[in-house]
Chain A
Amino acid sequence: MHSIVEYITSYLQSNQTPGAAGNFAWATIYILLVFVGLSIAVICMNWLERKILAHMQVRLGPMRVGPHGLLQPIADALKLLLKEDIIPAEADATVFWIAPFIVVLAAFTVFVVVPFGPTHAITDMNIGILFMLGVSSLAVLGIVTAGWASNSHYPLIGALRSSAQMVSYEVAMGLAVVSAIMMTSANAEGTGTLSMIGIVQAQLEQHEWFLFKYFPLGIVAFAIFAIAMVAETNRAPFDLPEAESELTAGFHTEYSGFRWSLFFLAEYSAMIAVSSIAVTLWMGGWLRPFPNALSGPTWDLVFSLFPGLTFLFLAALCFYSTARMPKHPLFRIQTMGLAGFGVVLALIGLILFWGPARTRIEDIYWFSAKVAGFMYLYIWYRGTFPRYRFDQLMKVGWKVLLPTGLALLILTAIVGMRTEILSMFQEGLR
């Protein structure tokens, strides 16, 4: 018994990820934390998408279910769980059953290497970014099998189009990622790294987000990845394979109830995963703004107050909305619920002002804030851009992004090795 407690507490002194320290107990705890956090994030994302999209379209969105529709995602989840499970008549039952799990597996396994902080990752693989790209490409298999197993025209065409699109944009994503990896080797020893934590530490050591490195190469690489990641996750404006007006929901037409919710969960998790890749590679991961330019204990203190301030701001929004609720007896419960939610947020904000919570949360907070920015971009794209036709989509993927990515790769390599190339020229001229 004593040895188990010691096993568990011995990790707290180490400064490694649980995978590196070989600690199964803490690795399991981190896995559960990531799983729970991801589920909560998907639920929030559902609500946020409907509200933000609605406000962009000058309407209100869900307002009935809870105060300002806050309980809508829970109601949706309950409905999906209680719906009848329909399998098409001639469909292959085994494959029909397995397909959503493959997609969810691919979307969730990616989070094993996502770095929420310098030691806050489940594990830090040597090949972190390679693993993430590889496992997220396994989702294509799930989509293809889902479309085929439905034994119906629309899902099959939707699945083939969706997987063709995902495979094409994976190439562009890979090229953009490689040019970002090459920037990690611009240090003194000339050694780069593929590990996610190493990439962020390379940005810390080089005093520069890779977004701004070798201007404009960093920005173009980020732009290629940002476009490719939207296409990779089948989101607007690249959502032809699953848009309702085109293919009646594409590859998940025949899926209803719990299986559909698995696809939905996997899609949002994949969105968060590729946003994590973008944040880690180009936007400094868990680093607070200006970790080197504005360093020192006072600036650290100032920036570590941000998590608490954010939650207090959200609580203030809740209280403001409570004040604006209709003063009618039928709205009493909703008003109290909203006020209670505001109080909970304010309490969390106040807890986050306390010293030990501040130091533990700040890396996770900055990472989550950047990923949340990307989620807002996703919703913004959905509300703004018209849909690409499928041939236009493939043309953009192969004829625009791929040559740009290749040119970017070569240019990044040349700029990164400019001193060696110059010395080779000088040697040759001599």
Chain B
Amino acid sequence: MNPPVATAFFFYLLAATMIIGGILVITRKNAVHSALALITALLAQAALYLMLYAPFVAGVQIILYAGGIMVLFLFVIMLISIERNMKERQFNKQWLVGIVAAAALGALFVTVYTKTSRGVSLFIEGRMSYGESQNTQMIANLLFDRHAGMYMFAFEIASLLLLVAIIGAVVMAKKRI
């Protein structure tokens, strides 16, 4: 088929899922509904990563984000009984200012994307298809290789950050320190 319909179809399907999930996250009264919508958006994003030939990031997204962070969110939502909260006002007093600010930011995005993409072609998908059999190895090269890797320091700092976060979360949530 001449026009690449399959790629476009899946991209628009996943993009629609993400946008609808995002809208549901910010508009639902019930926090569990928001969390479920966010899970859907995260899974659609993992599929988009697969379309971008980034299988390792997709796997990390499913394991960490959808399977870890969202479980944490759901736990906390359930431990904090917020049925009383669902009957209160959901949007705060400065909601109009918030939307105006977001609209201004959106106008900025539109300006940047339409001005710089004229004449400069951000590359078209489908012209280049690198086999994905080397993706994990190449990421590992960037992270760990002695000669070609440049992210080893960031890796160690990230693990230190996670340690600090673990200790911090435990201390914050304890009843008596």
Contact = CB atoms under 8 A, between A and B. Distances in A.
A127 to B, nearest CB: 4
A141 B66 CA distance: 9
A95 B24 CA distance: 14
A160 interface: yes
Interface stretch (B13-21, B52-60, B169-177): B52-60
Interface string B45-66: 0000000000110111011001
A127 B59 contact: yes
B67 A126 contact: no
A143 to B, nearest CB: 10
Interface stretch (A43-51, A132-140, A203-211): A132-140
A94 interface: yes
B36 A145 contact: yes
A144 interface: yes
A126 B71 contact: no
A194 B132 CA distance: 12
Interface string A333-369: 0000000000000000000000000000000000000
Contact of A126 (B32, B62, B63, B135): B135
A357 to B, nearest CB: 32
Nearest to A90: B83
Contacts of A282: none
Task: State the majority secondary structure of interface residues on A.
Answer: helix
B78 A130 contact: no
Provide the main secondary structure of the chain B interface: helix
Contact of B32 (A95, A125, A137, A138): A95
Contacts of A92: 30, 32
Given A98-B36, A126-B135, A141 B30 contact: no
Contact of B55 (A126, A167, A170): A126
Contacts of A127: 55-56, 58-59, 135-136
B90 interface: no
Contacts of B78: 144, 148, 156, 160
B67 A138 contact: yes
A131 interface: yes
Contacts of A126: 55-56, 132-133, 135-136
A163 interface: yes
B74 interface: yes
Given A130-B56, A134-B67, A137-B62, 9 more contacts: A126-B55, A130-B59, A130-B60, A130-B63, A137-B71, A138-B67, A141-B67, A144-B78, A167-B71
B62 A148 contact: no
A144 B136 contact: no
Contacts of A194: 136
22 contacts: A98-B36, A126-B136, A127-B56, A127-B135, A127-B136, A130-B60, A131-B62, A133-B63, A134-B59, A134-B67, A135-B62, A137-B62, A140-B71, A141-B39, A144-B71, A145-B36, A148-B32, A163-B75, A167-B71, A170-B67, A194-B136, A195-B133
Interface in A112-168: 125-127, 130-131, 133-135, 137-138, 140-141, 144-145, 148-149, 156, 160, 163, 167
Nearest to B57: A127
